[in-house]
Structure 1
Amino acid sequence: MKINISEGRCSESFLEKVESFIVPIIKSEVVPHVKESLLWIGLSIRKSDNNNSIYHFCMIKVLVAKAALRIWDVELHWRSSDGSIVLASDDVTDKEISFWIENMPSQERLQQVVERNEYMWKRPTKEATIDKKLYRFKIREMGWFGSSFPDIGIRIKTPVNIEILAEFIGNAIESYNQKSLLKDDSDESDMTNLGLIHNFSYEKKKKNVYLFTLDMGSALDGVDAILQALNNSDFEIELITLE
């Protein structure tokens, strides 16, 4: 489990107190669902708008490494026992501080996220990730497929203008994103939010071999959507590698 400071300065003594408060919560709430080594805890320190306030706060982001998946985005608040203002940059070795979390997701909500993204909690098997029987071309999975920046290699039987292939994949991404944007976020029990594919880059590796690198963000099913579009296309595809 890694705790990282995203913004602002944080003293070593303050971070130790935050860890002693946060780690037991993460262990009890999240670790039963995901390996502890995959967790990344980000603290984004916010400046107080009121110099007379008796507490400050920072945002906590709990992410699963290699999955581009954020579980929490909540507030950590703290208050000194004597009422003095405590900054994250202060040395608080001998200071008594109480912490609490606001906007904590319910166990029910956390479980919904776990169920929706179940295959992201563990190293996916080839069978669990992609159903190869659905496609007319061969699919080869290399290493850890589940990164937020996956590579899609395409081997085609006949030469093709890479710009044409890139335009086709770009259109597939746009269609996927539009479908995701139509989702109604007002219903928290609706776990069909597909996320958005942010962008992609591409290059020709060698004759008839093309490589596309995608920023998937939280678009968990985006690769499937691209594969389905390619499967329905007129491209004479021999092999697609996923890494």
Structure 2
Amino acid sequence: MTSTDRQGWQDGRRDATSLAEVLHVLKGRRLLVVGAVLVLAGIALLLGLFREPAYTAEAVVGFAPREAPDDEGAQQAFAQEVFSAATSPGSFSEGVKEEAAWRGTAGEFSDRLDPGVSVLGSGGMEMRVSFSGREPEEAARVANAYAEMFASEAGRLGDEQLSAGTGVAEAAVMRRAVPSEDSGPPALLYAAVAAGVGLLLGGGAALSLEGRSGGWRDVRDAEVTLRAPVLGAIPDYSPTENEG
């Protein structure tokens, strides 16, 4: 069958590509598609297996001012000021690391730490701190040490130390962190997501290459493209090079 040019048949085709055409293209270029899937899934699986596990634990400290500010904005500002005043000294972080027996650089400690304050609807305030450790016990130990030291430092803040003119009435650990066995999505989930991405990329590349092709590879290719049965095909006996 000679089919070096599809241009003459374009007017007889529908504009929308059918599912049969897509499947036929993917089947014809299955090595490309499968290769993209395997490469991306393999990379994701290796990264997931060799990544360092991160176990996160969270502790909560409740505190309240002696005299509550009038509006919510002032309450949020007071909570943030208490947090800054209690945790700003360099001795705070060092004390937490010593209490938790944590060994590591200051940058690593900061990256694994996630504290924050908020105002509750009842007028109270709280500080939540989470820490990601290499082991569940380590994460809980550091989060609890941070919460306990914050409660201790915040409770000592007097009227003259805060711009609102009122100190902290009470501060206590409301919920201690407990070791968690959840270390994030498993490696197989990363591999599955990567395989899906590989399928999309490989399929897109296959369709793009097929769109640039100017000829039919076989009878089935012609049938799928024209959406009509091929009754016969003329073999191409043209010589590949001139003889004589």
Give the TM-score category using the shorter length: 0.3 to 0.5
Greater fraction helix: 2
Normalised by the size of structure 2, how large is the TM-score? 0.32
Query: More strand per residue: 1 or 2?
Result: 1
Q: Which of the pair has the greater relative contact order for Cα pairs under 8 Å at 6+ separation? A: 2
Q: Which has the larger radius of gyration?
A: 2
